[in-house]
Amino acid sequence: MASHGIEIRGLYKIFGPNGKAHVEAVKAGISKTELNERHGHVLGLKDINIAMPGGCITVVMGLSGSGKSTLIRHINRLIEPTVGEVIYDGRDICRMSQSDLREFRRHKTAMVFQKFALLPHRTVMENTVYGLDIQGVPRSESRKKGQRWIERVGLSGFENHYPNQLSGGMQQRVGLARALTNDADILLMDEAYSALDPLIRVDMQTVLLDLQAELKKTVVFITHDLDEALRLGDKIAILRDGEVIQQGSGQEIVLRPADPYIASFVKEVNRGRVIQVQTVMTPAAGIAGTFALPSGTTLETAAKQMTAAGVSVAQVLDGDGKPIGQIDLTSLISAMVTPVGHEDTAQIAAE
């Protein structure tokens, strides 16, 4: 069954005893600093509008204090909004009754935390099935489900170990197995890999991408790391001071940064791992050769494959396998190091 998307509309969060009284002032342009100094309230989120596609990974990225963790906690309503809507499957989560919200949290969402949040007195298996225990699922059934996901995240043989016997990467695998065992439609990951060493972090990103290729969950992933955002995100939303300042695919953000703030983020990005061949291909007329690449192939992967095959020109194929253009190795390598102009980016598919 396909996962539903999440639609966040006009969401504001003002922390303080009377946040709603200051919404109009925020809409009128009062600054975060002025709101705090004059009224003793803190602006957490301002007019957030993000469509998070079902079955995809949406990455919310920003530096500390940007509002990204505040935002993700509105999706399962751990934080109450000041005003706004969070729509899932036609319902506004912000207006659910307490009983409906409890059911939504138990059955539709699962969360993976930065600090693992494992129960120290429970084994790997017992932590993995914790959510099913809360739901009242018989232990014989929950253990079968738990075993499946323990094996899938690479922890077979560690079922009876306790968290303090595991490395940080292994503990995070338990957290992921616990979330997947719940079989929730929505997976919320708040800086889930930020506490891990770089190599383990990349390994966990790979685990998530491999699982997502099969499961097609609606994943909301919070990070402050652009490389992580570009690797994981089908869609990326960048926050600063509680506002969305750009959203789109990784390609769109790298090729067309909205302002100098984002341009400073993307200037050191390895373009070859982000830009796809469809962006720099030439039209389909007069295509030569039989070597073909899917349109979503990154420039780095295309260069490796073309070099290995000993070809200098390749066809570019759409999702149906039909030729839509061609790419030559010289222009491909040039695009990996030379900024692509606005006139060359018109072929980026709308996402």
State mean pLDDT over 40-49: 95
Q: Is 146 in contact with 177 (CB distance < 8 Å)? A: yes
Looking at 175-189, 296-310, 333-347, which range is the least confident one? 333-347
Residue 2 has pLDDT above 80, yes or no: no
271-344 has CATH 1.10.275.10 classification: no
Give the other-Cβ count within 10 Å of 65's Cβ: 14
Give the model's pLDDT for residue 318.
Answer: 85
Q: Is pLDDT larger for residue 55 or for residue 117?
A: 55
**Fold assignment, 6-108+184-266:** Rossmann fold (3.40.50)
d(CA 207, CA 294): 23
pLDDT tens-digit profile of 185-234?
999 999 888 878 888 889 889 999 999 998 999 999 999 988 899 999 99
At residue 308, the pLDDT reads: 92
State what percent of residues in the chain have pLDDT above 70.
Answer: 93
Spatial separation of the C-alpha atoms in residues 214 and 139, rounded to whole Å: 26
Q: Where in the chain is the domain with CATH 3.40.50.300?
A: 6-108+184-266
Question: How confident is residue 286, by pLDDT bands cut at 50, 70 and 90?
Answer: low
Cα Rg for the chain, rounded, in angstroms? 23
Residue ranges of the chain that CATH labels 3.90.1280.20:
271-344
Phi, psi at 200, each rounded to 5°:
-65, -35
Mean pLDDT of 169-186: 90
Interval 77-106 mean pLDDT: 94
Those residues whose C-beta lies under 8 Å from the C-beta of residue 310, and which sit 6 or more positions away, are: none
DSSP assignment of 33-61: HHHHHHHS-EEEEEEEEEEE-TTSEEEEE
